[in-house]
Amino acid sequence: MKGPRVLVVDDQKDFARGVALVLGEVTTSIEVANSVEEAVDLLEGQTFDLVLSDVKMPGRDGLSLLDHVHERWPRLRVVLFTAYGTIEAAVAAIKRGAYDYLTKPFDDAELLVIVRRAYKEILDEDEIERLRAELAETRSFHGIYGRDRRMLQVMDSIRRIAPSAAPVVVWGESGTGKELVARAIHAESPRARAPLLAFNAAALPDTLAEAELFGARKGAYTGADKDRKGLFADASGGTLFIDELPSMPQSLQGKLLRALQEGEVLPLGSSTPVRVDVRIVAATNVEPARLLREGRLRKDLYYRLSVMRVTLPPLRERIEDIGLLANLFLERAAGGGTKPPTRISPRALRLLVSHDWPGNVRELQNVIERAAVMCRGEEIGPADIVLEDDDLEWEPEDEDDLAYEEAKRKVLERFQRRFVERAMAETGGNLAAAARRAGITRAALHRIVKRLGMETDE
């Protein structure tokens, strides 16, 4: 890998050369321009990933270059150098959609951190684009449907973590698809030919749960009328899906930790440990940080399990997937009936999109199946859609014990999301018009939209 293609723009030739020299550490592809005009010429002639530009230059300045770049190459990231003490300039730069800024004088490390971060994002974006193209053909990734950016990122990370045998924690609200993710990890992994078995402690009394997981000798507990191998042994060479991790009793958590540490299990009533080779994928519908705080999950176990993590976004944050999934479930529901509906009306769809979906994809599936049965015509209308009452209130019990900064970030993110969604809805998805309405530049809005993982028509 030769690194990102960078263009450095500064009228001070020595300074520009100095920056280029430092960048030699991360990339072999560097061009230097000493004016905006020169920069634009270079940009027209070849492809870049990143522009680093001074703001203050004779003639056209860095901000005008920023605007020009965003008009013509919206994906290109621009980092601006601002003079020391002009915090307003830095703020203005970010507002106008700059990727980041560096206050002159800056040291090499600061520069490299920003360039490395940008490069990583660029590579991730390329990967996501490839996945998007693949999905256009296969429709789903091992049964996971979705075009939402964050879902594509989930699929991408499943691909990345599948080859390893390290444990994975999957976190997502109920019905977001955690089990599907576990199955996809297994299917993508070298263990795909061995079994994937699921365990749910919530469904069993403690002793039975232990026997189910680790096995038991005949007579080890009341009702143990024969030897049991247990899921660890049965899933040997494969994957064990531990559903509802928080519902595991503490004692069992301790035993699971030991099994992970030692690579062997001790069946109930036996004194001979059995070696096991199983990959663990554990699911939780409560945020791990909260589980730890409330003592429902042993810290040592969590750190052992969460070598890799997958976080599933709630359905209400994947607006564009709602339509896609609704149509998928309609297609599936249409299998049985005599003259099933084949479409969802725009008004019904709007209802679906504005619902909060506390039960996420599973809830959507139920709503559509029911609508398909109730519907008399070919098209599902608003009257066929029966939704649980939306809880319009803020859910303080969820947020009030978060750290202040995190709570603030969440509130802000939610605000931005709603704000952007409304601006986009009011302008029919036109980014430029929505930006004007919101009083920010198109590029800045584009950044926000991207950071929130929202999709636009552009």
Which residues here bind Mg ion, judged by CB under 5 A? 179
- The 280-299 site mask, x for binding ligand ATP (CB under 6 A), equals ---x-x--------------
- The residue to which tokens 């800024």 are assigned: 101
Q: Scanning residues 21 to 80, which ones bind ligand ATP (CB under 6 A)?
A: none
Instruction: Report, in Å, the least distance between residue 286 CB and ligand ATP.
Output: 10
Instruction: Determine which residue in the list 5, 70, 178, 442 makes contact with ligand ATP, applying CB under 6 A.
Output: 178
Among 121, 156, 179, 399, binds ligand ATP (CB under 6 A): 179
| Distance separating alpha carbons of residues 236 and 248, to the nearest angstrom | 21
> Which span sits near ligand ATP by CB under 6 A: 76-84, 170-178, 374-382, 448-456?
170-178
- Cβ 310 to ligand ATP shortest distance, Å: 11
CA separation for the pair 117, 133 (Å, rounded): 25
Residues β-bridged to residue 7: 31, 51
- Nearer to ligand ATP by Cβ, of 178 and 191: the residue is 178
- Kindly tell me which residue out of 35, 86, 174, 456 binds ligand ATP, with binding defined by CB under 6 A: 174
Size of the residue set binding ligand ATP (CB under 6 A): 17
| Span interacting with ligand ATP, options 3-11, 177-185, 272-280, 397-405, rule CB under 6 A | 177-185
Q: Is 246 in the site for ligand ATP (CB under 6 A)?
A: no
Alpha-carbon distances, residue 344 vs 58, 143, 338, 341, 384 (angstroms): 58, 22, 18, 8, 10
Which string of DSSP letters, residue by residue, matches 14-54?
HHHHHHHHHHTTT-S-EEEESSHHHHHHHHHHS--SEEEEE
CB of 283 to Mg ion, least distance (A): 6
- State yes or no: residue 186 binds ligand ATP (CB under 6 A): no
In this complex, which beta carbon is closest to Mg ion, that of residue 175 or of residue 238? 175
Phi then psi for residue 27, to 5 deg, are -155, 155
Residue type present at position 112 = L
145 binds, among ligand ATP, Mg ion, none (CB under 5 to 8 A by kind): ligand ATP
Q: Which two tokens stand for residue 320?
A: 């564009």
Among residues 97, 175, 246, 341, the one that binds ligand ATP under rule CB under 6 A: 175
The separation between CA 204 and the C-alpha centre of its own chain, rounded to angstroms, equals 32
DSSP bridge pairs for 100: 79
Residue corresponding to tokens 């899921």: 231
The minimum distance between CB 309 and ligand ATP, in angstroms, equals 15
* Residue 78 beta carbon to Mg ion: minimum distance, rounded to whole angstroms: 43
Nearest residue (CB) to ligand ATP, 354 versus 366:
366
Give yes or no for residue 361 binding ligand ATP (CB under 6 A).
yes
**Is 177 a binder of ligand ATP (CB under 6 A)?**
yes
Name the residue nearer to ligand ATP (CB basis): 144 or 152.
Answer: 144
Which stretches of 162-293 are DSSP H helices?
A: 178-188, 206-214, 231-234, 250-262, 288-293
From the list ligand ATP, Mg ion, none, partner contacted by residue 285 (C-beta under 5 to 8 A by kind): ligand ATP
DSSP string, 120-148: HHHHHHHHHHHHHHHHHHHSEETTEE---
Site for ligand ATP in 135-164 (CB under 6 A): 144-146
Which one of ligand ATP, Mg ion, none is in contact with 29 (Cβ closer than 5 to 8 A by kind)? Answer: none
Which one-letter DSSP state was computed for residue 390? Answer: P
Least Å from the CB of residue 390 to ligand ATP: 19
Q: Which two tokens stand for residue 118?
A: 């940008």
Q: Is there binding between residue 114 and ligand ATP (CB under 6 A)?
A: no
Which residue among 27, 236, 253, 365 contacts ligand ATP (CB under 6 A)? 365
- Give the residue among 167, 70, 75, 115 at the shortest CA–CA distance from 441: 70
Helix axes 346-354, 360-374, angle to 10 degrees: 150
For residue 105, whether the previous peptide bond is cis, meaning omega lies within 30 degrees of 0, is yes
Q: Tokens in use for 34?
A: 């000493």
- CA neighbor of 96 nearest in space, from 119, 68, 117: 68
Report how far residue 398's alpha carbon sits from residue 406's, in angstroms, rounded to the nearest whole number: 12
Of the candidate residues 7, 66, 111, 180, the single one contacting ligand ATP (CB under 6 A): 180
At 281 the three-state DSSP class reads strand
- Residues 307 to 326 in contact with ligand ATP, rule: CB under 6 A: 325
Binding mask 368-397 toward ligand ATP (x if CB under 6 A, else -) reads: ------------------------------
Residues that bind ligand ATP (CB under 6 A): 144-146, 172, 174-180, 283, 285, 325, 361-362, 365
